Structure 1
């Protein structure tokens, strides 16, 4: 369990951008390197984390810890994940208050924003590929494995969301119910 804490502490310290930007870091550590979870279980954890209240990174770390070691694992992973961010946020807030007019600091922030967008796009594509192909490795994508039902459901919900003012949470609930009926 100590390794779980250190992994999430490292992830917390290295995750700039939070939310979707942290998903590739968690996947690299927990799925790809340690093989503690399969891609499918991790994808399910991401889905549940998105639907529960609270920050995505915290929810994901909590559910990963819960999946691995129960409630103690959830607590350890969550504390590890948020500790790095708290320390970094406090240090950066003090630093940027002193240096907020500096051109190099403004350039640094612009670079960090660009990196965060790239990480968010990576997380989105990972979730998309896991949903549609049950695989996030581009080298192993096989169009024959495309889940046409998931693609159709995604398209319908995207169309409804764009053309109406229906609450996205309601659409997620409806999608979950339809998916539960179709994939049971």
Structure 2
């Protein structure tokens, strides 16, 4: 079988069955790349995890790109990356079609009434977890509150507010 098809199918499998984020995909990536196809040694797989964590982006996609590049160059990187994201693209497309088709039904409205507070609580919980890590640094707490107030009370673009907050943080840490 063509190497590009093999790479695509291997990472399509990973993308389809790795629920729970990139770290949940690592055992599947190891199985495909080290155990089944022998594209990587265990040492190379360990290096793959390190490199994938250091580079921006999701670890599963970074891993797919790295493996594809190593095995078959740019075409391999493209095949692995596409294989990794196609299952999510299909799922999101199907969910979007269902949502747009049935969004005005009372059942869907009730489902979203239940989901909104749950999602809000999850986002708030993540924010509080992040915030609690910085709570020891009073300057960051004050800066966060000021940025939130600026976002809420002014018509400043959020990107400018984040940029100003970042610059103020850098200035205070350099003094």
Q: Which residue of 1 aligns with 2:42?
A: 39
Query: 2 CA distance for matches of 1:31 and 1:21?
Result: 16
Question: CA separation of 1:78/1:43 partners in 2, compared to 1, >3 Å: closer, same or farther?
Answer: same
Give the whole-Å Cα distance in 2 for the aligned partners of 1:23 and 1:95.
31
Contact kept, 8 Å, 1:5 with 1:80, in 2: the verdict is yes
**Aligned equivalent of 2:16:** 13
Of 83, 87, 91, the residue aligned with 2:90 is: 87
Range with greater deviation from structure 2 (14-23 or 47-56): 14-23
d(CA) in 1 for partners of 2:14, 2:67: 13
Greater Cα shift, 47-56 or 91-100 = 91-100
Q: Partner of 2:32 in structure 1?
A: 29
Structure of larger gyration radius: 2
Q: How many Å separate the matches in 2 of 1:24 and 1:53?
A: 21
| Distance verdict in 2 for CA 1:29–1:52, change over 3 Å | same
TM-score normalised over the length of structure 2: 0.53
Shift of 1:21: 1.0
* Deviation for aligned residue 1:92: 3.5
Question: What is aligned with 1:54?
Answer: 57
RMSD: 2.6
- Partner Cα separation in structure 2 for residue 90 and residue 77 of structure 1: 20
Distance of 2:95 and 2:19 partners within structure 1: 12
8 Å contact kept, 1:15–1:22: yes
* Number of positions where the alignment pairs a residue of Structure 1 with one of Structure 2: 107
What is the alpha-carbon distance in structure 2 between the residues aligned to residue 18 and residue 93 of structure 1? 20
SS in 2 for 1:76: helix
Q: Distance in 1 between matches of 2:93 and 2:24?
A: 20
Where relative contact order (Cα < 8 A, 6+ residues apart) is larger, the structure is 1
Q: How far is 1:49 from its partner?
A: 0.6
Quote how far apart the aligned CAs of 1:26 are.
0.9
Using the size of structure 1 for normalisation, the TM-score is 0.51
- CA–CA separation in structure 2 for the residues paired with 1:52 and 1:33: 26
- In structure 2, distance between residues paired with 1:95 and 1:21: 27
